Amino acid sequence: MSLNIAQQVQQKRDKKFYLLVFGCQMNKSDAERLGQILKNIGYSETAKEEEADLIGVVACAVRQKAVDRIYGQVRNWQLIKEKRPLITMLSGCVLERDRKMLKDKFDLFIDIKKLDTLAEQIQALAPEEKLALPDFFDITPSYHSTYRAYVPIMTGCNKFCTYCAVPYTRGKEVSRSSENILTEIKHLLEHSYKEIVLLGQNVNSYGLDQATEIKFPELLKKIDALSDNFWLKFLTSHPYDMSDDLIKVMREGKNINDYLHLPVQSGSDNMLKRMNRHYSVASYKELINKVRRILPQTAVSTDIIVGFCGETEAEFQATAQLLDELKYNMSYLSQYSQRSGTAAAKLYKDDVSPEVKKQRWEELNQILTQNSLDFNKTLIGQSRDMLVDFVDQENDGYKNVGKLSNYVAVHVYSDHPLPVGDFSKVKITEAQAWGVRAEVV
Ligand code: SAH
Ligand code: SF4
């Protein structure tokens, strides 16, 4: 029996938080609100400190006794962090003076008045959470959607990139049975779902952990054959094992989208080696060129980390050059942040200053903006399907907002609202860095 989507989300939400409250009734109420937000973003509460992925302290630091107790705990957590990933967070009524002293001892300080920034802060600290919690961090969710479904096909990762916490927090790769996946997607399509996004940290390894299971290209082919007229995407591919078979299935598929997310992380061979990525810049470029030769329409996006341990200016420039050369239509840029328990935390020094990381991020962001604009310009004049996400009434008309099959955002002004959750034919008229404008055909 296949799991429904809500159950799968529940399964994926296996990260736990533990809250310690030192203080009065007010602090308890703060902790309740904080706990609720953590639950909303996919954590569940545990009463056992030793199994927590995130430990939060809600303290009344007005009293010295509480401050002393915090110091005592922090030392223990430091020891845990040497062995496994752990996020520590401080909140509550913390005085400015104590806050300054305690700030460096925690990964996050959350102002209780600004709880709404919590998810963003956790993600900045742990960007890999994005895939783990797609319903929250993606711009347009969600599992509650009646037309777009994120379907996990596997969990965990065996790659052990040195900076990444996923192999520790989510464990080894485990693939779901293809029978379960196919039954679930069939059910979704019968209920008129329009877009299916397959999820896994490294979908190309699908099935490798099960001797009798089919592999990813075959799984994709079978899903593609389930019906006509739906969109099919998958995230994320690792360049090391993206096969020719997969490219062939993408080319022959009738529903598989013109979209590929292929994280490169860095444009320097030395950095790639230190990151344990198992490919070179040259082999990565060859792969992208092959994809573009065989699938010329495909929009390719990537992930990049700036300021990884030991990254020199020349190594960073190599990344900037690669970004410039490969002209991705989208790049997700992150500044390296050390994750406890990972190989990089043990082996290397996090020695690029926050100012330099920020500056490098901004430099890449400029290139990315230009590339997106250039890519979007190539779409002008094309007639395509748009999947409508929402409609706003504006002045004397309607602004329809949605996506193209290649994940490019699209805005359409019209006299009548377009049907939300369904495809509409539109013609692209104008390009911007954020996406395109189009008109109803
Ligand atoms: N499995 C995917 C990505 C998963 S994590 C892959 O192999 O590419 C999503 C992105 O978060 C990564 O691609 C990386 O760019 C970023 N990331 C992961 N750990 C990070 C860290 N410690 N600091 C900064 N960025 C990180
Ligand atoms: Fe993390 Fe690397 Fe696995 Fe991606 S492939 S989840 S970056 S260890």
In this structure, are strands 108-110 and 397-403 parallel, antiparallel, or unpaired?
A: unpaired
Q: Is 301 in the pocket of ligand 1 (CB under 6 A)?
A: no
- Residue 95 Cα to ligand 1 midpoint, Å, equals 35
CA dist., res. 125 & res. 337, Å (int)? 6
Phi, psi of 385 (to 5 degrees): -80, 145
CA-closest residue to ligand 2 atom 2: 161
- Whole-number pLDDT of residue 62: 53
| E strand map for 180-255 | 195-199, 231-235
In this structure, are strands 397-403 and 409-414 parallel, antiparallel, or unpaired?
A: antiparallel
Average pLDDT for residues 399-407, to the nearest whole number? 96
Q: Which of 68, 61, 63 is nearest to 94 (CA)?
A: 61
- Whole-number pLDDT of residue 8: 39
Q: Please give the single-letter amino acid code of residue 219.
A: L
- Whole-number pLDDT of residue 406: 96
Q: Is 41 in the pocket of ligand 1 (CB under 6 A)?
A: no
Lowest-confidence region among 15-19, 67-71, 160-164, 346-350: 67-71
Ligand nearest to the CA of 199: 1
- Which of the four pLDDT bands, split at 50, 70 and 90, describes residue 31? confident
Q: Residue 2: is its pLDDT beyond 70?
A: no
Q: Is 145 in the pocket of ligand 1 (CB under 6 A)?
A: no
Give, rounded to a whole angstrom, the gap between the first and last alpha carbons of the chain: 43
- Whole-number pLDDT of residue 13: 44
Q: Residue 364: is its pLDDT beyond 50?
A: yes
- Whole-number pLDDT of residue 128: 65
Measured over the CA atoms of residue 188, residue 193, residue 195 and residue 199, the dihedral's sign is negative
Q: What is the pTM of this model?
A: 0.79
Structure token digits, residue 364: 């890449």
Q: Residue 248: is its pLDDT beyond 70?
A: yes
pLDDT digits over 122-157, tens only?
777 776 665 444 433 332 333 457 898 888 888 889
Atom of ligand 1 nearest to the CA of 202: 1
Dihedral, 263, 266, 271, 273 alpha carbons, nearest 10 = 30
Q: Is 305 in the pocket of ligand 1 (CB under 6 A)?
A: yes
- Whole-number pLDDT of residue 142: 35
- Residue 275 Cα to ligand 1 midpoint, Å, equals 11
- Residue 158 Cα to ligand 2 midpoint, Å, equals 8
CA-closest residue to ligand 1 atom 13: 303
CA dist., res. 49 & res. 45, Å (int)? 10
pLDDT digits over 256-271, tens only?
999 999 999 999 999 9
Q: Which of 156, 209, 158, 215 is nearest to 181 (CA)?
A: 215
- Which of the four pLDDT bands, split at 50, 70 and 90, describes residue 94? low
Measured over the CA atoms of residue 413, residue 415, residue 420 and residue 425, the dihedral's sign is negative
Q: Is 238 in the pocket of ligand 1 (CB under 6 A)?
A: yes
Ligand nearest to the CA of 173: 2
- Whole-number pLDDT of residue 284: 98
Q: Which of 148, 174, 147, 170 is nearest to 160 (CA)?
A: 170
Atom of ligand 2 nearest to the CA of 131: 6
CA-closest residue to ligand 1 atom 16: 127
Q: Report the helix count and the strand count for the chain, using DSSP H and E.
A: 16, 18
Atom of ligand 2 nearest to the CA of 167: 8
- Whole-number pLDDT of residue 61: 58
Q: Is 202 in the pocket of ligand 2 (CB under 6 A)?
A: yes
164, 241, 274: residue to mutate for ligand 2 pocket, most atoms within 8 A of CB = 164
Phi, psi of 305 (to 5 degrees): -110, 125
- Residue 386 Cα to ligand 2 midpoint, Å, equals 32
User: What percentage of the chain reaches a pLDDT higher than 90?
Assistant: 57
Q: Is 333 in the pocket of ligand 2 (CB under 6 A)?
A: no
CA dist., res. 191 & res. 255, Å (int)? 17
> What are the structural domains of the chain?
15-120 (3.40.50.280), 129-377 (3.80.30.20), 383-440 (2.40.50)
User: What percentage of the chain reaches a pLDDT higher than 70?
Assistant: 88
Pick the more confident residue, 57 or 132. 57
pLDDT digits over 165-217, tens only?
888 877 789 898 999 899 989 999 999 999 999 988 899 999 999 999 999 99
Strand partners, 43: 15
129, 130, 158, 159: residue to mutate for ligand 2 pocket, most atoms within 8 A of CB = 159
Q: Residue 36: is its pLDDT beyond 90?
A: no
- Residue 292 Cα to ligand 1 midpoint, Å, equals 24
CA dist., res. 363 & res. 290, Å (int)? 28
Q: Which of 114, 128, 108 is nearest to 17 (CA)?
A: 108
